[in-house]
Chains A and B, each alone.
Chain A
Amino acid sequence: MKPLILASTLFASACLLVAHLRDTSIEVRAASLPKVILNAESITPRAIEQRTGEMVTHNYAQAWQDMAACVETNRTDLVNDYFTGEAKARLTHLISDQRKSGLRTHYEDRGHEVKAVFYSADGGEIQLEDRAQVEVQIFDGQKMIYSSASPRKYLVLMTPGADRWYVRSLESVGDETF
């Protein structure tokens, strides 16, 4: 009888935890980080663990913070911390081009509503849909040549590293995509 009670208790606890993860959005709003709210209600094929969700949310916010610093100052040293693969290559190329052209980009980051839509069965990839409120200003020297405050959508692929999640792909997509 005792094992049965123990098993029932464990099962009930597990159900409660999963229910909690499915119902609750994870939010990162550290002092200097962009605001990122992650919603994983409709993720497939597996649910995301609470700790993983927190890590993804925090690391994604840090990636945006680093990207903003990179394109503002045209420094490539921050690219390595939260970017990898194609996202890193593209960002590095953009910074190199900006440096050559004397351009810089300023992001005024007003937050990201992120929906986690795919989490692979082996836990190796997570895909996110990001509705970003980011004002973009492009400068040639001191002269502002472009400014836009329109919301943007990004399709993001993140993969885990030793101690963090990396942005592997960050693609701006059209309004009709999601």
Chain B
Amino acid sequence: MRRILLIWCLMIGGFALSMRAQEVELRAPSKVIAGAGFAIATTGHGSATFYLVGPNRALKRTIQLGQEITISGNDVAVSGLYQAIACGSPCANTTFQVLPSAPARLSFLLHPSRVPVSSGNAINATTFVFDRFHNTVLKSAKVDFHVSLPDGPTMTRTGQTTRGITWFEMGSTAKQGRLQIIAAIGETAEPRVIQQVASDACGLRMTAVPAGRYVKLETSAIRDCAGNPLPDGTIVSFTKTDNAGRSTIDTPIKKEKATAQFELTGRARISVACGVALGNELEVGGRP
């Protein structure tokens, strides 16, 4: 009877020990920084299969329970929720959050690429702040925007990110030319350039010079209201109305001026326009 009892006790003890050996527990920090290696503590005995599953990772390897599992920085470079799982029998798991590291990259979007001068809130700038692994930096960060014209002073405005984004709008200046904006955070700077171009023509005028059966037309220098010359290639329309009807010549500006020539068959009225700007009208006479 005693022998049976002894065997029974040994069996119970052995079973309890083996159950104890199979108990698996994983202990990881609840939060780690992206790219920083760390260790996960394990309990139990024997070997098990370890899995690390995250936003861009699904790793599997054999581990020895009771020893620490080393997780390299590369395996947790992407921020987000990770599951560490160890399967002996049964499986155990723990979850941890990988947080973005320090701001290191900027994605700077500046619109539009060309803008007429003196346009209110026509320029908008949006900046996304990322860490070196391209994770959105959620902690509020300060971004400086250095705004400069070629001949003008540089002014700086500051934006504070919310969920990794900061933005602002501004008007274009009165003078045409390159407008450079540099977004900067720490050692990282992203320059962008907008071309400020002349606005609509202002005070458009032409003169007519008769030349036999023809009349030659030439505008004065075409500029916007701030004195910026309109770029070469901008179309100017000359329109002649006479007894024969109406005819139009569209011609590009060359060196600030536009020229055209009409054949005259009698009295005619000639007008000039550039975009939305209307110029003067002339009455020219010819032989009926």
B269 contacts partner chain A, Cβ-Cβ < 8 Å: no
Cα-based distance from A82 to B233 in the complex (angstroms): 41
- Interface window among A6-14, A28-36, A50-58, A97-105: A97-105
Cα-based distance from A98 to B54 in the complex (angstroms): 11
**Among residues 81 to 139 in chain B, which have CB atoms less than 8 Å away from a CB atom of chain A?**
81, 83, 85, 87, 91, 93, 95, 97, 99, 109, 111-112, 124, 126, 128, 134-136, 138
User: Known contacts A120-B167, A172-B81: does B134 contact A97 (CB below 8 Å)?
Assistant: no
A residues within 8 A CB of B128? 157
B interface, over-half SS: strand
User: Known contacts A45-B169, A155-B163, A177-B138: does B111 contact A122 (CB below 8 Å)?
Assistant: yes
A residues within 8 A CB of B164? 155
Most chain A beta-carbon contacts within 10 A, residue among B56, B83, B164: B56
Q: How far is the CB of A166 from chain B (nearest CB, A)?
A: 15
B residues within 8 A CB of A45? 167, 169
Q: Which of A101, A124, A171, A177 contacts B58 (CB 8 A)?
A: A101
Cα-based distance from A117 to B56 in the complex (angstroms): 25
Q: Which of A94, A117, A178 contacts B57 (CB 8 A)?
A: A94
B residues within 8 A CB of A171? 55, 79-80, 135-136
B81 touches A86 (CB 8 A): no
B39 contacts partner chain A, Cβ-Cβ < 8 Å: no
Q: How far is the CB of A140 from chain B (nearest CB, A)?
A: 7
User: Known contacts A90-B56, A103-B60: does B165 contact A127 (CB below 8 Å)?
Assistant: yes
**Among residues 113 to 135 in chain A, which have CB atoms less than 8 Å away from a CB atom of chain B?**
117-118, 120-122, 124-125, 127, 129
Q: Chain A interface residue count: which class? A: 35 or more
B80 touches A173 (CB 8 A): yes
A93 touches B138 (CB 8 A): no
Residue numbers of A with Cβ under 8 A of B are 45, 86, 89-91, 93-94, 97-98, 100-103, 105, 117-118, 120-122, 124-125, 127, 129, 138, 140, 143, 145-146, 148, 152, 155, 157, 169-174, 177-178
